[in-house]
Structure 1
């Protein structure tokens, strides 16, 4: 049996990338700073299973420092290393596409911050066309914001006016939040579909529907998020596998990130625990030669962007505790890969992604034991390694990390 399972620990960076100065991220280190915070607060980060796979060694290769208080094994069980990104942005689609062999060599359109907090960040002409097309009397927000903060601040006004809440970040994204019942989930999806066709003119990578529920100043986002994403500009490993008649199972927001291209089966879930359970179920049903590709979004959405160091640490320890269950499911010829799509250092100023190295950890019967992969020059080395493992045609970018 020859299958592959990839899990993206969304935003789990290992230290500033070589081009971090271009992004204002010199010194960012998601893993390293979480580990430091844990030691300073008397609760060293406990990641024994990730340590077995060589995570501390990967972090040291990327950042030059051992993560504080994290145990390490002299001889890791898997192959371990880190990778720097060549795509021009530090956004979610670019990171995922590059992991699957398709670096993004162009700049997305962005909505820059303004010095005037009352100024609109979205182009007025595009906004008016969108509002007219959707029959909306107006929109709230029109600013850079955290998704949780802005619905707390504007949720009541949204219910009063019926206007959607629109905001962005340092990513190339137009986000639209609306109440699931008062505004309607289908209606939210419809206006986001309309927004994608209009904001494509500004080369915006994603329009994201952000439904929420609640009343009277107390609101929470739900699991019914939907991303309307520009398709990858070239074939990815997912396309190659699907064309070869293989199964490709997308877990979490993977299908959205790839605009459903190259996906044969898709599962979603609310939070990391449910997504881990869905990953196990998909893996148990995955045919020989297939790929299961999962994204665990809580690291980024709940803890990185919200600068919740303790929550991020707890989530890492919860995933570490789940890892033995996953490893027990691997059969002869199977390969597990763990990586990330960018950083989101919860100790860093602001609430945006950080330009960092990401881990490349391989485990399972098909992974070489104790192999030091060093620091790779592109995320695409992951996709190329998987292509070789699954015996499909080589991808256009990346080099194999090892051949078994």
Structure 2
């Protein structure tokens, strides 16, 4: 079996999709708006300044993919791509992380996941009552839609004093619980999240996320890398299952294992940030010569998209771009690398939620023909392309891109 690598630049959308108006996202453009902000000086700070500097990603074809998606020019240097480039629209009903990843791997989610209303005390009383009872906790805090960092700042002190975990949600299908690693306990938080997942399953909520943090109000609270996602398993076979059925291995780098509820995953390696995850990718490329290495670079979404931090997002892209030559140096002749995203999270957009956008489809490898792949009608085209490359059974959805 050959080797493939998927790099999900979590939330790097390429412009609002045709149905974005149904989500309140018409006009959103994560990548394009970052480029424009950099070009105008609005993304300058003490860490970076000037136009977005991503020569390697542009060389692979990301810039041309963005121009194809938005249908007009961007203030970037045009270069002749060395990879195959295009963009894809999502046919899944949501704009959440699991739906995006599952569709990339050939399993669109045509139904809508359950969500909680955007009101104070948004969780059903019966849900909270059972969480208190089965989780053996005296109470909860927040119980509303909130940004993860803001809710910790708002309720962190009260949480430490009362022992009440902080429960909150977003526009996504998610129930999140934040708790202090030392005062509440990390394992206790994980156990409480297991209880919560059982309780929200009847509500068709996709994920329960443990959001541990440390620190104090004087010096500031900080979320740690011990996040844990409890996700509803995929309801059918994905690319990951097909690879394992063909006796191949699937290596999860980052939160991929959590997103697929470890279904079809051989093993997982983690790290505390994007650069650590790239380090892990490089390590795995040295060891694993066949199958799939599947990477999610979560900082783009969690640290910069949701927090609406344009300079931070731009700097993170520039830092990742500098690692591209390291990845290239580890490629073997038949390797196929895919750069894509699972949704958008435009840091210039109002609010703090994901945005409904096209995603990049950028394939690179020594044997890949540089070409314009155009618009792909579903994310599943990417998974089907990888299945064809690995010479395994075709997926149920998607049309493979012809790369040679």
TM-score by length of 1: 0.97
Q: Which of the numbers 78, 91, 101 marks the counterpart of 1:72?
A: 78
Q: Which of the numbers 60, 72, 76 marks the counterpart of 2:67?
A: 60
Distance across 2 between alignment mates of 1:67 and 1:311: 20
SS in 1 for 2:314: helix
Give a deviation string over 1:239-271, Cα, whole Å, max 9, x none. Answer: 011111111000000000000000002101100
Q: After the TM superposition, which residues 196-275 of structure 1 pair with which residues of structure 2 at under 5 Å, given as runs?
A: 196-217=197-218, 218-275=220-277
SS in 1 for 2:363: strand
Give a deviation string over 1:19-54, Cα, whole Å, max 9, x none. Answer: 101001000000110011101116111111011111
- Unpaired runs of 5+ residues, structure 2, are 42-48
Q: After the TM superposition, which residues 11-160 of structure 1 pair with which residues of structure 2 at under 5 Å, given as runs?
A: 11-41=11-41, 43-68=50-75, 70-73=76-79, 75-114=80-119, 119-160=120-161
- Equivalent residues of 1:82, 1:376 under 8 A apart: yes
SS in 2 for 1:283: helix
- Equivalent residues of 2:381, 2:397 under 8 A apart: yes
SS in 1 for 2:301: helix
Distance across 2 between alignment mates of 1:292 and 1:166: 33
- Equivalent residues of 1:5, 1:283 under 8 A apart: no
SS in 1 for 2:214: strand
Counterpart in 1 of 2:183?
182
- Equivalent residues of 1:56, 1:66 under 8 A apart: no
- Equivalent residues of 2:344, 2:357 under 8 A apart: yes
Alpha-carbon shift at residue 287 of structure 1 (Å): 3.1
Q: After the TM superposition, which residues 356-375 of structure 1 pair with which residues of structure 2 at under 5 Å, given as runs?
A: 356-368=357-369, 370-375=370-375
Alpha-carbon shift at residue 403 of structure 1 (Å): 4.9
Q: Which is worse superposed, 196-205 or 278-287?
A: 278-287
Instruction: Find out whether 1:306 has 2:307 as its counterpart.
Output: yes
- Unpaired runs of 5+ residues, structure 1, are none
Let me know the Cα RMSD of the aligned residues: 1.0
Q: After the TM superposition, which residues 312-323 of structure 1 pair with which residues of structure 2 at under 5 Å, given as runs?
A: 312-323=313-324
Give a deviation string over 1:134-165, Cα, whole Å, max 9, x none. Answer: 11111001000000111011100000000100
Distance across 2 between alignment mates of 1:113 and 1:386: 39
TM-score by length of 2: 0.97
Distance across 1 between alignment mates of 2:25 and 2:395: 30
Alpha-carbon shift at residue 283 of structure 1 (Å): 1.6
- Equivalent residues of 2:153, 2:217 under 8 A apart: no
- Equivalent residues of 2:251, 2:294 under 8 A apart: yes
Aligned residue pair count: 396
Distance across 2 between alignment mates of 1:402 and 1:102: 20
Distance across 2 between alignment mates of 1:103 and 1:6: 17
